């Protein structure tokens, strides 16, 4: 038992399998998000062949049909968030992620064929089904991250994972334009990410694992480092904790978090979907200039994402800032800065292009801090059900992504009318302010009691067994650590 004095001395490799898992999650997010947004550029190419490569077929679509096609993945993603979160929390995220990526990739490859055979109606159906699978991705990512990420590394590793959204958005716009104008033509916009997705599946099938205990490539030191760092109770082998639905849906910290994420989704989806329309209506720029200015905020957003990651890492590691203060401070900046920027944008002169773009860039760049400020809070509240929690909140976020363009379409009937845009921006600013205010007051960054809720009969049966097995497990763990040293 004297060996136990070595229990606190556990060293872990600086780079290990946990970083490989995060790389898989990052590339998964990048590829899926790129396939979601590539249609915005591809639809211009295959409805106007002269704008890209005239050697490929052209299809006629009305503006309404284009809107339905572009928005179809968002409608689909609303339907699978909660189911994906539940399944990944119960059975692990590996096989679910593999199925999501594989089916998304195959449907992407089939997209040009669907357009040729069934016109925009079949294209809409394919994109809708693709959205069903895309919607299940984010809950799986957070479930997988919760099993592999030590709490002290959550800001860095989780931040890297979420930047896949920024990279995917940029690649979805930029790469699609390059491929459409290349000799490969607009079909390659769907073929390239589809084939890359299949390659990702093969690699993840070999090197991915639901948890450190299931990985055959992880070292003993890194496995013990992750297992001891995760602040969650060990569930009895062979037993799966039931989902505490009532406790989750009545949990004040989670309800506040879900409302905060929904308010943030209103601003993000509005900026993502409406920036090109706003620039075109107010400033009347050409398509080329419009595309360049529309992409600029997202490039800055990607760079600022890594700035928030390094800042959070520095504050937690070298300044020992408590997690609640870190989360709420960064989230306040990432939520109230866009609110102020949108209010300012509402009153900037029509002739002040630089001022308008600065407001848009400031709003978009600050949004990137929401990943560390509030998205990772799902893992803080419940490592065991992080995917399910994110599935519930992301369902509300996806609903905001569907409702937002409809509301704006009814409000902004004249794209050149700044008064109509002002009403939209001021409304979103108010929602952002309230969402973060509730998060500041009621938000929590501690594991909730229902994280390890077990049935009564399981708890009574487990109590004597834990007393007898705890000593053996502790001794084994101590010897393993001693041998490592």
For the chain, percent of residues with pLDDT exceeding 90: 25
**Count of beta carbons in the 10 Å neighbourhood of residue 368:** 27
Range of weakest confidence among 198-202, 325-329, 405-409: 405-409
Which CATH code fits 16-230?
Answer: 1.20.1250.20
Q: How confident is the model at residue 1 (pLDDT cuts 50, 70, 90)?
A: very low
Can 16-230 and 234-451 be said to share one CATH topology? yes
pLDDT at 138 over 60: yes
The domain spans of the chain are 16-230, 234-451
Q: What are 107-125's pLDDT values in tens digits?
A: 999 999 999 998 889 999 9
CB 279 within 8 A of CB 294: yes
DSSP per residue, 218-241: S-HHHHHHHHHHS-SPPPPTT--P
Structure confidence at residue 235 (pLDDT): 42
Question: How many angstroms separate the CA atoms of 8 and 303, rounded?
Answer: 37
Instruction: Indicate if the pLDDT at residue 14 is higher than 80.
Output: no
> What does the pLDDT average to over 404-432?
82
DSSP state of 348: S
Residue-wise pLDDT tens digits, 435-467:
999 999 999 988 898 887 655 444 444 444 443
Gap between the Cα atoms of 215 and 151, Å rounded = 20
- Which residue matches tokens 């998304």? 104
Q: Max Cα separation, the chain?
A: 78
Q: Averaged over 363-376, what is the pLDDT? A: 84
Mean local confidence (pLDDT), 129-153: 86
The whole-number average pLDDT for the span 84-88 is: 82
261 Cβ neighbours under 8 A, 6+ residues apart: 374, 375, 393, 394, 396, 397
Report yes or no: 483 and 13 within 8 Å, Cβ to Cβ.
no
Distance between CA 158 and CA 377 in Å, rounded? 11
**88-112 average pLDDT score:** 92
* Among 447, 456, 473, residue whose Cα is nearest residue 384: 447
Q: What is the pLDDT of residue 196?
A: 96
Interval 192-214 mean pLDDT: 93
Architecture of domain 234-451: Up-down Bundle (1.20)
């Amino acid at each position: 038992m004297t060996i136990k004095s070595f229990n606190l001395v556990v060293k872990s490799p600086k780079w290990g399998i946990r970083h490989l898992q995060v790389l898989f999650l990052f590339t998964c997010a990048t590829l899926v998000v790129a396939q979601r947004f590539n249609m915005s550029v591809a639809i211009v190419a295959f409805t106007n062949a002269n704008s890209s490569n005239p050697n490929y077929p052209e299809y006629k679509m009305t503006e309404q049909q284009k809107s339905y096609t572009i928005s179809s993945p968002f409608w689909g993603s609303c339907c699978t968030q909660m189911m994906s979160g539940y399944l990944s929390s119960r059975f692990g995220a590996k096989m679910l992620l593999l199925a999501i990526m594989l089916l998304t990739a195959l449907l992407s490859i089939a997209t040009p064929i669907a357009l040729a055979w069934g016109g925009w109606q079949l294209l809409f159906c394919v994109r809708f089904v693709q959205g069903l699978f895309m919607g299940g991705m984010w809950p799986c990512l957070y479930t997988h991250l919760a099993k592999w990420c030590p709490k002290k590394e959550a800001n860095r590793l989780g931040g890297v994972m979420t930047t896949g959204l920024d990279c995917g958005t940029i690649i979805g716009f930029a790469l699609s334009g390059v491929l459409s104008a290349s000799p490969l033509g607009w079909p390659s916009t769907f073929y390239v990410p589809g084939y890359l997705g299949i390659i990702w599946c093969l690699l993840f099938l070999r090197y991915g694992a639901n948890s450190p205990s299931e990985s055959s490539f992880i070292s003993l030191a890194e496995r013990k480092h992750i297992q001891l760092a995760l602040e969650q109770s060990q569930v009895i082998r062979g037993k799966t904790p039931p989902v505490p639905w009532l406790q989750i849906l009545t949990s004040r910290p989670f309800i506040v978090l879900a409302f905060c994420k929904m308010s943030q989704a209103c601003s993000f989806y509005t900026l993502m979907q409406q920036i090109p329309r706003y620039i075109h209506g107010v400033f009347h720029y050409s398509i080329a200039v419009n595309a360049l200015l529309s992409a600029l905020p997202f490039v800055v957003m990607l760079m600022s994402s890594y700035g928030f990651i390094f800042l959070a890492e520095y504050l937690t590691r070298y300044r020992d800032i408590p997690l609640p203060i870190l989360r709420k401070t960064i989230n306040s900046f990432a939520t109230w800065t866009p609110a102020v920027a949108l209010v300012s944008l509402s009153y900037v002169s029509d002739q002040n292009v630089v001022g308008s773009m600065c407001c848009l860039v400031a709003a978009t760049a600050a949004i990137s801090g929401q990943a560390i400020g509030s998205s990772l809070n799902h893992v803080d509240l419940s490592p065991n059900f992080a995917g399910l929690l994110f599935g519930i909140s992301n369902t509300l976020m996806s609903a905001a992504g569907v409702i937002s363009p409809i509301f704006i379409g009814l409000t902004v009937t004249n794209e050149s009318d700044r008064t109509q845009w002002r009403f939209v921006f001021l409304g979103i600013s108010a929602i952002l302010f309230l969402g973060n205010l509730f998060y500041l007051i009621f938000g929590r960054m501690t594991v909730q009691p229902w994280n390890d809720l077990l049935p009564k009969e399981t708890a009574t049966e487990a109590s004597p067994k834990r007393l007898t097995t705890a000593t053996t497990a502790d001794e084994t763990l101590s010897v393993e650590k001693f041998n490592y040293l």
